[in-house]
Amino acid sequence: MIKSWMVIGGVAFLVALAANVITPSDRQWFKRLQRPRWLTFEGAIPIIWTVIFICGAWSAYIVWEKDPRSTSTWLIMGLYLLLEIVTIAYTPVMFKLRSLKVGTILGGTGFIISALLILAVLSISGWAALLLVPYLLWSPIGTYTTWQMISLNPQDA
């Protein structure tokens, strides 16, 4: 029998694979952009996001296990999925459109969705809500960084 954590992890992994639609020219565009001087931790960003996605999947698992047959649980799972899609879309969409504004909007949208998701799961499980806090804390940092890059690269706004 397939376990719920396998399904949640599998869906999260498949959605994350969508970020791989970046071409070499997309990467070159981003690499040439100026970054804020205080951005000294760029190499750690993939690790940070990996931890955040693991926390999100774990949170979804906790919520699912509470009441898998409930309509509200299915709606909340849809919100988890929407959050991951918006988060994963940040890089390929911003790169394809070559627009830091789009990246900033996607980052802000992810923050709003994560706040709504925390409110939705708080009554179901405090642990599930707590596992979403890393997203809520990190997302504004990434969004602010992208927003700061607009002033450093106005031609790529």
Domain-located, residue 146: yes
Domain-located, residue 23: no
Q: State the amino acid at position 64 in one-letter form.
A: W
Please say whether the beta carbons of 85 and 98 come within 8 A.
no
Domain-located, residue 31: no
Q: State the amino acid at position 53 in one-letter form.
A: F
Domain-located, residue 39: no
Domain-located, residue 148: yes
Encode pLDDT of 69-122 as tens digits: 899 999 999 999 999 999 999 999 999 999 999 999 999 999 999 999 999 999
Alpha carbon distance 46, 62 (integer Å): 24
Domain-located, residue 18: no
What percentage of the chain exceeds 90 in pLDDT?
82
Domain-located, residue 3: no
**Domain total of the chain:** 1
What range defines the domain where residue 67 resides? 45-152
Q: Taking the complete model, does pTM exceed 0.85, yes or no? A: yes
Domain-located, residue 15: no
Encode pLDDT of 2-11 as tens digits: 888 888 988 8
